[in-house]
Amino acid sequence: MPASQRSLTTALIATSVRRAVARIEFSSQRRWRILDSRLIGQAMRCFNVPFISSAAVVVAVKCATAQTAVPLVDIKSVDPTMVIELRYAGANNLAGRALYPPGTPALVRPEVASRLVTAQAILRRYQYQLKIWDAYRPKSVQMQLWQAAHNNDYVADPQAGAGSLHSWGVAVDATLIDTWNRPVLMPTDFDDFTPAAMWHYRGADPAIRSHLHLLQIAMRDAGFYGLRAEWWHFVIVNWQKYLPPEELKRALQAFGMR
């Protein structure tokens, strides 16, 4: 996508986001309080709390680790063509049970959403598109995953560093499907923590290698990088700027980066 077109797309997204901002505050009773009722769209339930859904509505979620507001947007409100299948809303995952309530939207930071739009546009040139398996993940859900896995090669310890980058809205789990929403051959299924799920495919199937390479190239060109042990996991390249200083320091120490 030309730079001018990417800039226009980003500008349009930013404009729609600014027009529909809703602020939400986390209270001591672990409930959400809507601060600006004028911007209420269609209410729905998300993580057992009211979620406000309208065109590109941004919600400010307070992270339990640092009580820092994390602005999040529903991916579908930014790009309605994006296919969402949150695996933690069903039983087909590491925990073997639903960790999200029905109807949970896929939330990310607005900057992540705009980059996903870019990746989607790249893939559509080749008759493919994204399917999102996970996006923002509350720390409470991360704790349940850690208890199920207890292996920080695959699941981040929510008590170590800044926890999972999913909990800061800067990471997504994504796969590739065709333009008719049909799955295509990929190295493994979601939450397959085996050597077959590594970023560098070592199998012999040329179709799988081609699909994975296309996904990786599209996400790279949109501004994401991958994770060594999980081909489906992507983080925005400048994720550090979105964490509070103290949480960033803990994260870098946990990652061995400082």
Query: Which position among 25, 85, 111, 230 bears the catalytic label?
Result: 230
Say whether 247 is catalytic.
no
Lowest-pLDDT range of 61-70, 137-146, 217-226: 61-70
* 124, pLDDT greater than 70: yes
* 200, pLDDT greater than 50: yes
* 161, pLDDT greater than 60: no
- pLDDT tens digits for 162-180? 568 898 899 999 999 999 9
pTM of the model: 0.72
Residues in the chain: 258
* 108, pLDDT greater than 90: yes
- pLDDT tens digits for 24-61? 222 222 332 222 222 223 223 333 332 323 345 555 55
Rounded Cα distance, 60 and 71, in Å: 4
